[in-house]
Amino acid sequence: MTSIMVILCRFFSFSLIWGLAKSQEFSYKDTTTWGQNYPTCNGNNQSPVDIPWGFGETVIIQPGELQWINYGNIPDSMRIVNNGHTVQIYPTWVNASDRPYLTGGPLGGQYVIEQFHFHWGQNDSVGSEHTFRGRRTAMEFHMVHWKSEYGTFEAAASQADGFAVIGALYDPIFGKSSRGIEEIWRELGGLRQPNDAIQIIPFPLSDFEVVNSRDTYVSYYGSLTTPGCNEVVTWLVALDLFSITSDELQQIRSVQLGHGDTHNYRALQNLNNRQFTYYQSKSVEIHPVWRNNAYRPYLSGGPLRSQYVVEQFHFHWGQNNNVGSEHTFRGGRSSMELHIVHWKREYGSFAAAMQRRDGLAVIAALYQPSTGRSSNGIQQIWRQLRNLRQENSAVQVSPFPLSDFGLLNPTHRYMSYFGSLTTPTCNEAATWLVALNLFPISNNELRDIRLVRLRHGDRHNYRPLQRLNNRRFTSYRSY
């Protein structure tokens, strides 16, 4: 009798964790019929949805500091299950204080990790559940978290703010995937049939590129994407594409699903007037994206031994014209500093490059008030600042060439040194190239950027100077 009771308890727990349905009898052949057995699947706040952002469009955000805590902690155990609907991974920590959690951004509390899993399709053109302006990618990765104050995953499932789910979309774009994908994929041979389950050697969840990345996240309120479709989820979908190989996509498609399903993504749901918000780290950041990677701007030469593609650019400023820049020239700060952040193309993604010593290259330009005219790039961004006064506000702008910032001038010299990001997590992965020129900006433009509200009541967003510790400078000219 004891043996039977244990088996029943395990089955009940497993059913709750996957979609919180009373039964596992659902198929992906026609997801529009789920509401017949699970009425919530016909609700007004269902997921996934189409996200109104497209490659080639520029998104400007005042981020909200989504924070990843403890994701470098290696689990005490890690179990993978083919539950007939996906490949799902359960990491566990003996010490609750070691368990990773999300906080900040749109989240009003701490959300601890429960499990992660994947969604894929029949070929490389389909597979993701969310879409960017109607475009599906080959796979989507979900990291499911629940609000710790509710005590258990099951209790959180009945609360409107119970869950937070990270979504990351994958395509075969660079030919190399993250360590996290590689760790899971080498185990797929033991998960070919539904109900197959194995224990694997644990690894930190930071091995997935989306963790601790500085990507922009679009957030909206929605549901689980499987029955019972509980409308309890704050979604955070990374506005980036992560890399997976074509061979890895073939391998995940060889995993047999229940009911003869050949894919496990749900049809798009109506938005029903729900709103999107955008989150990242401090300061106003601009994320340009090119549909064709061959057109994506990159740096090479000088101290850089490879191609570094542009990721984003942002600004640092102070309370008045005497402060604002992060770097100084012989102790003198200027009023503002522009950073154009690049990552080494061969590492496949910004998140992966952040973990490498030579992963990033940052161009810095210092600005001082002048009677001269500011660059076209500054003017293009400043036209939108009135729409970015409040925290978490975001706008889309007409794209413009990055050459409009006026940095591409053969008379400009750059001082280079090895350093770090200037915001947490302060990764020591950056080759800095600081222009040895002061660029013009008007007093009115400086006043406008100071009207942008920062989090925590901050009146500036520049970091104090750090020790040089015998690092050396080298000088280069652009061309």
| Residue 335 near residue 326 (C-beta atoms within 8 A) | no
Q: CA 174, CA 345: separation in Å to the nearest integer? A: 8
Residue 85 bears catalytic tag: yes
Non-local CB neighbours of 187 within 8 Å, separated by 6+ positions: 80, 198, 200
Amino acid at 44: N
Q: CA 222, CA 273: separation in Å to the nearest integer? A: 12
Q: Which entry of 85, 287, 316, 327 is annotated as an active-site residue?
A: 85
Q: Which tokens sit at 449? A: 């950027």
**Burial level of 456, CB count in 10 A (0-12/13-18/19+)?**
exposed
Active site residues per annotation: 85
